Structure 1
């Protein structure tokens, strides 16, 4: 894969894979909550790139190859700022037409697609795949799949972590996924497929599947789906009907509020688009990208390449 992508840097220490494309369009991508760029984007990035699109797949600050201390801390405001920097950087890539840029993400990052698309009307398209559109609703549902004692221990650890951060103490890390009864970010049934979907055969051994407990506090109250009515760009929302980690209903409601949204529903849990529903989902996303990102000839891109 090294021959088709190169490592680049932008913004506040963000590191990304840049796959130079041929059709003038570009898809900016990143992983879900504390999921680094390789397990979070590789299988979709390959398909988009094979179809001619440039791809910019990045790590948020504090995660993966990107800079930022302390490590494994996820802050909504910083991650949205990293997205903004990625959008601006993608427009400077020599083979990319700045008018043919799309954004793609899933899970928590998929929820970010709503405010990002609302704030960036110059985007050609946006794809929110199994997004967490309503943090409180997802948190309530997740609580049904966790033991009360473990929930209390997690809350205590998150609060102590947040207080410790005020005096510079190292993060108190918790697993991204574990069995119910374990202090972890997620213990929902479909979250147990995380490695099967994103890291089969430990393909990405460098992916540290831990996150600072403090990171969950803001996410629990974050409701990005409320921005859906302000999204004026073409928006594709992909939901899995049995999703227990980022519920389908709030995302369907958000899609209905967005003026130019298209909705794709598939059976299965949170990771269905990475597993048995991968082909129909990636084909639907490619059709959407071709329709909206490549709706105008990539004249700017060709002129740049000839210059």
Structure 2
């Protein structure tokens, strides 16, 4: 039986909102809680890594944030940092109650913006056994300034305008105004960086996840701009693995390297390639490194 055949659909609640997840029951008592970056649902973000963790004996809980994928939450495609942080707390609490899971052996895994969330979680709460921050966005202002270098001025003005209009639309109960997650310079999109345009190739090869809506509400970008979870790195008390890509042009490697150095129990792995290298040429290295890290810190004799 393959790993994907052994997972099951589950749901849990966060402040009355039902969140959808995949649960892969494991055999070693430890659990990895996972989700994707901004606007990225659990299937494209976590399937390949989650299956590898499960094959190594770990339970896995991979969930969709509110407002996207199979989770409830209105308005759709609106992503806020506060809401996502609450979703993470609810997911970890749910994982702790799974029958095969030891609550003292739960790890959090995130990619890009969700990697920033696991850094902030580990800095603000106790009880996590380990965290993995892959291609981490730990400094939103730096990432935003960098992204602006690869965008054309007129497109930047259009995106800002669309975001402001979307904020007003939200205040009067209108549907969200969506923008694509990735695009070419001159297009209105969250990322127009050289590696940002590889999102579909890396996460959705051959259109394997046709239900993934690769867009978010324009207002969602404002929260990312002010997101600075790297400030929490020095407060992390559990082992923390930072997987940083040397040629990352979407979030830049520098903030991730500094966060890894600041974390008292931080470990650093540097990969060749851009933001999506862990899903592309460096996938095998990333998986092998992350499984070994989890085994060292979550598995008991």
TM-score where L is the length of structure 2: 0.97
Counting matched residue pairs gives 296
Give ranges in structure 2 of 5+ residues lacking alignment: none
1:79 aligns with 2:91: no
Task: State which of 188, 196, 210 in structure 2 corresponds to 1:191.
Answer: 196
1:40 aligned partner: 45
| Equivalent-residue separation in structure 2 for 1:3 and 1:255 (angstroms) | 36
| Structure 2 residue 124 is the aligned partner of structure 1 residue 119 | yes
SS at match of 1:67: coil
Which residues of 2 match residues 1-307 of structure 1 at below 5 A?
A: 3-11=5-13, 12-294=17-299, 296-297=300-301
Question: Structure 1, unaligned stretches of length 5 or more?
Answer: 298-307
Q: Distance in 2 between matches of 1:285 and 1:121?
A: 21
Shift of 1:247: 1.3
Cα pair 2:4 2:51 within 8 Å, conserved: no
TM-score by length of 1: 0.95
1:128 aligned counterpart, secondary structure? strand
1:2 deviation in Å? 5.1
Which runs of at least 4 in structure 1 moved beyond 4 Å after TM superposition?
A: none
Mapped partners of 1:85, 1:214: distance in 2: 24
Contact 2:34 2:108 in 1 (8 A): yes
Q: Within 1, Cα distance between the matches of 2:107 and 2:121?
A: 11
CA deviation profile, 1:207-237 (whole Å, cap 9, x unmatched): 0001100000111111110000000000000
Q: Tell me, in whole angstroms, the C-alpha distance in 2 between the residues paired with 1:57 and 1:120.
A: 20
